[in-house]
Amino acid sequence: MDAANAERAAHGRAPLATHSTLTSLARTKARDMAVNGYFDHVSPTLGTARDQMLAAGLNPKYWGENIGMGGSVQTIHRAFMESPGHRANILSAGFTHMGAGVVRQGGRIWVAEMFMQPR
């Protein structure tokens, strides 16, 4: 979250507010990928990030998700910023809230970032 907001500040964007439900959902998604051994935006058990948000009672106007896997959170963040789609999520003026989840398992770090703008 701090790294995303530092990038936003450097690019003249307002900071993202931490959203406790998104944080919980992102942790669940990161853990789901690590435990079930997949790497995809669509979970075989949870569906999409939007599915998770709706199931949790959220109804976002805009939503997005970044997922990453690697050896360190810093390496994953750098990869996000080098990827046009991930970078766009982090810097999007359309997003106002974020939650992030990090899970360490099997010598790897799994990251999920969820973004939204509430209705």
Q: Kindly give the parts of the chain with pLDDT less than 70.
A: none
Signed CA dihedral, 8, 3, 68, 23: sign only: negative
pTM of the predicted model as reported, rounded to 2 decimal places: 0.96
Question: How much is the pLDDT for 5?
Answer: 98
DSSP code of 63?
E
Interstrand relation of 17-18 and 97-105 (parallel, antiparallel or unpaired): parallel
In the prediction, which pLDDT does 1 show?
Answer: 87
- Reported in sequence order, the residue ranges of the chain that DSSP labels E, i.e. its strands, are 17-18, 60-70, 97-105, 108-118
Sequential DSSP letters for 84-96 = HHHHHHHH-TT--
Per-residue model confidence (pLDDT) at position 3: 96
